[in-house]
Amino acid sequence: MPDVPRPPDAAEPPQPPATGEGYGASAAAAPVVAAPAVRRAGWGFIALFAAAYLGATLQLLAPLVVTLALKVDSLVGSDRAPNSLALVTGIGAFLALFANPFFGKLSDRTAGRYGMRRPWIVGGLLSGFGGLLVVAVAPTIPVVLLGWCIAQLFFNALLAAMVAVLPDQVPSSQRGLVSGVLGIGLPVASVTGTFLVQLFTGNQLAMFLAPSAIGGFFVLLFAGVLHDRRLAAADRPAWSWREFAGTFYVSPRKNPDFSWAFASRFLFVSAYAFLVTYMAFYLLDEIGSAESEVPRLIFTGSVVQALFIAAASLLGGPLSDRTGRRKIFVVTASIVYGLAMFAVAVAADVNGFLVGMAISGLGFGLYMAVDLALVADVLTGTDTAKDLGVFNIANALPFSIAPAIASAVLAVSGGSYGALYAVAGVCAFAGAAAILPVRRVR
């Protein structure tokens, strides 16, 4: 069994938070129960956590990168596909805005023998899988939309609980290392997803469900061995509408560091959303690739990007822990990613596209390795899943807003995806500037 750190029993006397209240908490709220002391995480736990995080990421990433666009294209044709895809991804992402903090809040309040995170990890996985099944067999765009909304809701419940395991069970001195290892999950998920999709080209059911089933295996394995944090029923805060409203809000005045980190992540993910959502159309229209070649080219680009993400994540995370600095890594990563978007924008052929993907891997890997550790370090309360759920709005909101912005950019530029990726580069540069005002973390 993996070396999983076991938190102290929930029956231990609660201690007050070290500094301030949880984000969105009010003075009138019920007594806050502090998180248990966190012990050093062993490599067995880190490896299994990373595999499960990879599996959770795979649930949404594989459809977004390849299969969802191809499904929409098969139903409405290439002329209507961009607008139909924007509708599906935009509404799905809008639901994710509320799903992540809402389910995170429920996870923070879950008391029972199975722990605080496990029920939402398992339930979110199984329900989200059902949503993908609906998308795979959908005969019309409205049914695709219904299935994708179900998948977004419940996979975000899974992700909200999964991300909360980091502050639950990893001490601050290891968070850069663990975040760096988790950062590998994204490129591996991208490569794995596109590889599996191309294996099942022509079979839409398998294209959607095979990556999800493989990723789900690792999620269930981790949930089965996790020594989950537990909350005694007597310590669960009383429910109120005021507390519920606070689920979706963080005061910029009271928590400026969190707000600046949120803004940086939002801008950075906006650049990423432009890249992955419109990559298939970019290859078709800008590079001139044949439709039958698109899955293979996306897979090749994902492999190239993954190699550089893995290298940047594994080096950047531990180096951040060793130096005790986070901001300089996040700023550098954002600038590098912005340069990558401009490289993609001016690419004239597949080779230029692959060069841009390689540079983007360096920036993305370094950013994801350190930014999550930075955010975990600025959390001051005990509602960690809820706080990270609010922060995860910065991951979901760009996928809702990006289609509208992209449609406007494409309309103004005469359908130029190069112009769209130049806008993505500007977003990444702005993300670098937004992290500079953070004070609590160096």
DSSP 8-state secondary structure symbol assigned to residue 31: P
Residues 135/208, Cβ–Cβ less than 8 Å: yes
Measure Cα distances from 143 to 88, 148, 201, 264 in Å: 10, 8, 21, 34
Write the CATH number for 381: 1.20.1250.20
Residues 25/384, Cβ–Cβ less than 8 Å: no
What's the average model confidence in pLDDT over 4-16?
34
234 has pLDDT over 60: yes
User: Mind listing the pLDDT tens digit for each residue in 100-136?
Assistant: 788 887 887 787 788 888 999 999 999 999 999 999 9
pLDDT value at position 245?
61
In a domain, 103, yes or no: yes
- The total number of structural domains that make up the chain: 1
User: Mind listing the pLDDT tens digit for each residue in 139-185?
Assistant: 999 999 999 999 999 998 998 888 888 878 788 778 777 877 777 77
- pLDDT, averaged across the chain: 80
Phi-psi region of 284 (alpha: psi -120 to 50; beta: other; left: phi over 0): alpha
In a domain, 108, yes or no: yes
In a domain, 159, yes or no: yes
Top-confidence residue, 378 or 434? 434
Cβ contacts of 403-407, under 8 Å, gap ≥ 24:
403/85, 403/86, 403/87, 403/89, 403/90, 403/277, 404/86, 404/90, 405/270, 406/86, 406/274, 406/277, 406/278, 407/82, 407/83, 407/86
User: Mind listing the pLDDT tens digit for each residue in 299-323?
Assistant: 888 888 888 888 888 888 788 888 8
In a domain, 291, yes or no: yes
Q: Structure tokens of 40?
A: 């050093």
Q: Structure tokens of 36?
A: 């248990």
Domain that holds residue 216: 43-232+253-435
DSSP 8-state secondary structure symbol assigned to residue 34: P
